[in-house]
Chain A
């Protein structure tokens, strides 16, 4: 396997509401394309094997680990990264509650964690603690022990229901 067998090609998708085209090898990881080609460094590489969730993004509304998505499979999709979560300069309710409840310490898991929580609240507006635990089980946090993250998510749900 010495000689390159692929050509870079143009791949078009929508990122955070903006139509975007990249020129990339089809097996570039979506994570690398977002970070390197588009400067969207919010998604992080923590493990490269879909275990830690720090690379999580939303793809057509579904939470996925971008380190496991070949960019060619992202053609035509709608991607939302942490950079696209807030509208303009105000924060998304989850970003507010993460700040208020200490749910972000070192911050490296935070973008993926917030997106996973956002995905949960879209599907389950009034989650129980068991729902929250399950929804976040694919996002590893080494700093918090998760307690304050649970509170932040539950409070975000409460604020959305009764603003």
Chain B
């Protein structure tokens, strides 16, 4: 900590009115909201404003007002406030996305939209969204309020249209984007807690691949974030096809003005900016619903798994029993919870299965119907029967002659080994299954038991995967 607290004054007037009065008298007071930028400079010994006035949590600045034609977000709304607002989530998803990728949860709980605007980092996370939405700012001082277009607010690197004694009061977003598709992406050095190397916010309105309107705003590739006006111009009214994507890439790549710095290179930023434009246009092309944002990454722990993790042991075991038929297996896997993703679930299934004994294996085998027969096994759960039917569908579709051959081979197997033939049938043709059966008929009892167990292990995996996806 490289500053001396004794050198700094911080006052907390507690109301907007009092803050403005203070600023009117002595404009050198530096407003501080959540402190996620100012306190970093302070700790580094680089805060040059020794007098600070707190605007944290002022009720007048920390509300979201909803009007028919616009919403006004108080400048001291935190990123968490934005994420928790349903009107922002529904109507201004670019901003909701930007809020979710700013810092970690702790910094989202303190960082504010107004702070992001006046800190004016070229890589500021929320500014491209505000540019894409054509936001206005309401500025306030003891003298009164005025309204300016956000796109006119930043004049250059860290210079802006804020007069002495003035604060941002609200950010106004027009409610005119119903039907627009959105695409937001931040490219940083890692997936969380990263300063943007390129920050992209795009809105588009297209029908039958013709672009009716397009808005592309981009950050971290110039001293201030900006709209790619030239790229937008060559896109409006055009049909989205590969030549247009190429043209858009080239135009965007020339429009951005990135630099080399400690985080990245100009060449990389320019190329990625162009790629993001192309990716955005690709999503416009897709006849998907408006929630199609950036390429979705499937959650490796689906809701189903999360809920299953929370069940009591009995319930959890019952739920997965149809996947394998062995109660020891089901309870064994349930005992391994919490299982965080599909890979862990399948690994647990294998480990438990391999640790069981013959009686448990036999119990599992007995839960299957004989291959090629449609008669359900008595007492088997309905889900198990349904999966069996699915796995054996190739067999079920065979000719009568093939089915007769399979039935005969099955009976021979049962005479020899005293139980039905188990094989993971998914994807196998009846001829393949028959050949496998005939080969396995040559096995001795011990080897055949191991082989059947191995097949059952695979069946359990397949069924667990289906269960997760259901």
Asked if B310 contacts A50 (CB within 8 A), the reply is: no
Chain A contact residues, majority secondary structure: mixed
Contact of A155 among B106, B191, B338 (CB under 8 A): B338
Judge if A87 is at the interface, Cβ distance under 8 Å. Answer: no
Chain B contact residues, majority secondary structure: loop
Judge if A108 is at the interface, Cβ distance under 8 Å. Answer: no
Expressed in whole angstroms, the Cα–Cα distance for A66 and B307 within the complex equals 34
Asked if A137 contacts B104 (CB within 8 A), the reply is: yes
Interface string of B32-59 (1 = CB under 8 A from A): 1011100110111000001110101100
Judge if A68 is at the interface, Cβ distance under 8 Å. Answer: yes
Given contacts A72-B10, A73-B54, is CB(A126)–CB(B109) below 8 Å? no
Expressed in whole angstroms, the Cα–Cα distance for A59 and B104 within the complex equals 16
Expressed in whole angstroms, the Cα–Cα distance for A69 and B42 within the complex equals 11
Asked if A154 contacts B309 (CB within 8 A), the reply is: yes
Min Cβ gap B102→A in Å is 11
Interface string of B1-41 (1 = CB under 8 A from A): 10111111111100000000000000000001011100110
Asked if A68 contacts B306 (CB within 8 A), the reply is: no
Judge if B337 is at the interface, Cβ distance under 8 Å. Answer: yes
Judge if A84 is at the interface, Cβ distance under 8 Å. Answer: no
Contact of A128 among B39, B80, B103, B302 (CB under 8 A): B302
Can you name the residue of chain A whose Cβ is closest to the Cβ of B107?
A: A50
Residues of B within 8 A of A32 (CB): 1
Can you name the residue of chain A whose Cβ is closest to the Cβ of B9?
A: A6
Expressed in whole angstroms, the Cα–Cα distance for A48 and B97 within the complex equals 27
Asked if A6 contacts B7 (CB within 8 A), the reply is: yes
Asked if B105 contacts A116 (CB within 8 A), the reply is: yes
Given contacts A5-B7, A25-B8, is CB(A150)–CB(B50) below 8 Å? no
Interface string of A1-38 (1 = CB under 8 A from B): 10011100000000000000000111111001000000
Contact of A162 among B56, B110, B310 (CB under 8 A): B310
Given contacts A69-B110, A157-B309, is CB(A130)–CB(B299) below 8 Å? yes
Chain B: number of interface residues, binned into ranges: 35 or more
Residues of B within 8 A of A161 (CB): 310
Min Cβ gap B170→A in Å is 22
Can you name the residue of chain A whose Cβ is closest to the Cβ of B307?
A: A126
Judge if B300 is at the interface, Cβ distance under 8 Å. Answer: yes
Expressed in whole angstroms, the Cα–Cα distance for A27 and B302 within the complex equals 45
Asked if A50 contacts B6 (CB within 8 A), the reply is: no
Residue of B42, B110, B337 with highest tally of chain A CB at under 10 A: B110
Asked if A27 contacts B10 (CB within 8 A), the reply is: yes
Given contacts A63-B109, A129-B299, A154-B309, is CB(A50)–CB(B39) below 8 Å? yes
Contact surface of B with A, Cβ cutoff 8 Å: 1, 3-12, 32, 34-36, 39-40, 42-44, 50-52, 54, 56-57, 80, 103-107, 109-110, 191-193, 299-303, 305-307, 309-312, 337-338, 340-341
Pull 27 A–B residue pairs with CB atoms less than 8 Å apart, ordered by A.
A4-B7, A5-B9, A6-B6, A24-B5, A26-B5, A48-B1, A49-B40, A50-B40, A50-B107, A56-B106, A63-B109, A65-B110, A67-B39, A67-B43, A68-B39, A70-B52, A70-B54, A128-B299, A128-B305, A129-B299, A129-B340, A132-B340, A135-B105, A137-B104, A138-B105, A154-B340, A155-B338
